[in-house]
């Protein structure tokens, strides 16, 4: 995220029109060589890696646990829906009728035994009008296996900001916050969820990864790190296309995913670009993973981007995950990774960017692929 996003925001109606609703579905494709962990396992053992900077095993070493399947969750199946229910408010009906839906779900990555929250943002029209105090039904496709189950319903928040912040997401209106009841909690693995507006059945999807504590995580920035330039998304938005990827970036992250690392795409882009970010990753061959943007409409710059990413990394560590590799390309990223104390230092990888804290600089992904290829699997 850089100053280009402020320029983009000046053209928000046009750019949101280009970005399209975030309502994609995902197809089950197992991680190569993976086998599912026992759903009853609470994860983690004495040989599992610890938190960043404090691993109990050498980063990249075999953790002696079962691999957690990482399906792409791109299936064409859909939940069976009940008849529509009326909007609770006339204004909501008018808002929904005045433009397309631009709902977006927020991916989550949690540890087994943690509270499991389903979070979303429900909006309409090219000016991103919040849907307030309306019913949303929540469905899950467990393990992305094709069978859907209704978990419950929630009302979108009003614009009072009264709901407590959950997983770093503040209540700015139109939010869905739904805690999965304990008797319906998701087992270890990857699951697709769908948020459906009860009145018109518009929807959006999200992914929740449930992992054993200490699971190895790879974090990557998007703009300039995975796209072919820092500002590539801006002209792509104007033309309706997608940016080109950095050569061999997808190969690098796919190699890590194949070894059992779980990928988190952490970008300071604005939230309304969630769907386009997923589209770019899928079209460019990147492994499926969790996508986290900022939760605002303009994204974050400079020090604000550092603060956002450091907070997100702290949330990951707070869930007991081990951030073992991180990829980025900007000075703000070097500071965020230093705040998070991601170690060893040469696992902080910066594309054409020096790190004053001692991270590794590369000029191209081809330089690091041999190192990644030589890593042992993190699981068996």
Q: Which residues contact 83 (CB under 8 A, 6 or more apart)?
A: none
**289's tokens:** 């993973």
**293's tokens:** 């943007």
Q: Give the C-alpha separation, 164 to 132, whole Å.
A: 16
> What pLDDT shows up at residue 64?
52
Q: What is the mean pLDDT of residues 43-50?
A: 31
Q: What is the CATH T-level fold of the domain 4-71+213-373, as seen in this structure? A: Rossmann fold (3.40.50)
Contact status, residue 67 vs residue 215, Cβ threshold 8 Å: no
The phi and psi torsions of 100 (rounded to 5 degrees) equal: -70, 160
> Using N-to-C axis directions, what is the helix angle for 302-318 and 331-340, rounded to 10°?
30
Q: What is the CATH T-level fold of the domain 90-211, as seen in this structure? A: Immunoglobulin-like (2.60.40)
Where in the chain are the domains? 4-71+213-373, 90-211
Name residue 265's beta-bridge partners.
220, 291
Name residue 373's beta-bridge partners.
none
Q: Give the C-alpha separation, 254 to 260, whole Å.
A: 10
Among the listed ranges 15-19, 256-260, 284-288, 366-370, which one has the minimum average pLDDT value? 15-19
Percent of the chain with pLDDT over 70: 83
Q: Give the C-alpha separation, 205 to 226, whole Å.
A: 23
Task: Report pLDDT digits (tens) over 114-167.
Answer: 999 999 999 999 999 999 999 999 999 999 999 999 999 999 999 899 999 999
Contact status, residue 329 vs residue 230, Cβ threshold 8 Å: yes
Percent of the chain with pLDDT over 90: 79
Banded model confidence at residue 235, pLDDT cuts 50, 70, 90:
very high
CA angle 140, 20, 328 (to 5 degrees): 80
Q: What is the CA radius of gyration of the chain?
A: 20
> What pLDDT shows up at residue 5?
43
Q: Give the C-alpha separation, 320 to 210, whole Å.
A: 11
> What pLDDT shows up at residue 301?
77
Smallest Cα–Cα separation from 224: which of 243, 205, 211? 243
Q: Which residues contact 374 (CB under 8 A, 6 or more apart)?
A: none
Q: Which residues of 335-353 are buried (b: 16+ CB within 10 A; e: fewer)?
A: bbbbbbebbeeebbbbbeb
Contact status, residue 194 vs residue 139, Cβ threshold 8 Å: yes
Q: Give the C-alpha separation, 96 to 86, whole Å.
A: 12
71, burial (CB in 10 Å: exposed 0-12, middle 13-18, buried 19+): buried
> What pLDDT shows up at residue 66?
79
Asked whether the predicted pLDDT for residue 24 surpasses 70, the reply is no
> What pLDDT shows up at residue 302?
87
> What pLDDT shows up at residue 300?
84
Identify the helix (H) or strand (E) that includes residue 338. Answer: helix 331-340
Helices and strands: H and E segment counts in the chain: 9, 16
């Amino acid at each position: 995220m850089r100053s280009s996003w402020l320029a983009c925001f000046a053209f928000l109606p046009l750019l949101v029109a280009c970005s399209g609703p975030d309502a994609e579905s995902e197809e089950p494709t197992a991680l190569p060589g993976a086998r599912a962990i026992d759903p009853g396992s609470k994860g983690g053992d004495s040989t599992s890696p610890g938190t960043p900077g404090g691993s109990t095993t050498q980063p990249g070493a075999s953790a002696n646990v079962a691999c957690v399947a990482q399906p792409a969750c791109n299936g064409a199946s859909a939940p069976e829906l009940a008849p529509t229910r009326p909007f609770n408010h006339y204004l909501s009906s008018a808002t929904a009728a005045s433009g397309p839906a631009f709902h977006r779900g927020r991916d989550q990555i949690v540890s087994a035994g943690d509270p499991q929250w389903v979070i979303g943002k429900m909006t309409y029209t090219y000016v991103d009008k919040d849907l307030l105090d309306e019913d949303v039904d929540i469905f899950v496709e467990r393990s992305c296996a094709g069978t859907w189950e209704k978990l419950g319903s929630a009302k979108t928040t009003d614009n009072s900001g009264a709901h407590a912040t959950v997983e770093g997401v503040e209540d700015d209106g139109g939010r869905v916050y739904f805690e999965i009841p304990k008797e319906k909690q998701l087992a270890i693995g990857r699951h697709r969820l769908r948020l459906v507006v009860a009145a018109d059945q518009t929807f959006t999807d999200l992914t929740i990864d449930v992992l054993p504590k200490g699971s190895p995580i790879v974090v990557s920035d998007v703009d300039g790190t995975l796209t072919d330039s820092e500002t590539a998304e801006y002209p792509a938005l104007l033309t309706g296309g997608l940016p080109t990827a950095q050569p061999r970036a997808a190969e690098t992250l796919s190699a890590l995913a194949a070894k059992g690392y779980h990928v988190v795409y952490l970008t300071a882009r604005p939230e309304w670009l969630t769907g386009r970010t997923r589209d770019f990753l899928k079209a460019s061959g990147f492994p499926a993973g969790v996508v986290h943007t900022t939760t605002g409409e303009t994204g974050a710059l400079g020090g604000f981007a550092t603060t956002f990413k450091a907070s997100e990394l702290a949330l990951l560590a707070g869930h007991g995950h081990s951030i073992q590799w991180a990829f980025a390309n900007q000075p703000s990223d070097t500071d965020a990774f230093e705040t998070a104390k991601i170690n060893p230092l040469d696992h902080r990888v910066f594309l054409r960017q020096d790190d004053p804290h001692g991270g590794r600089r590369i000029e191209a992904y081809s330089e690091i692929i041999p190192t990644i290829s030589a890593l042992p699997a993190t699981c068996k």
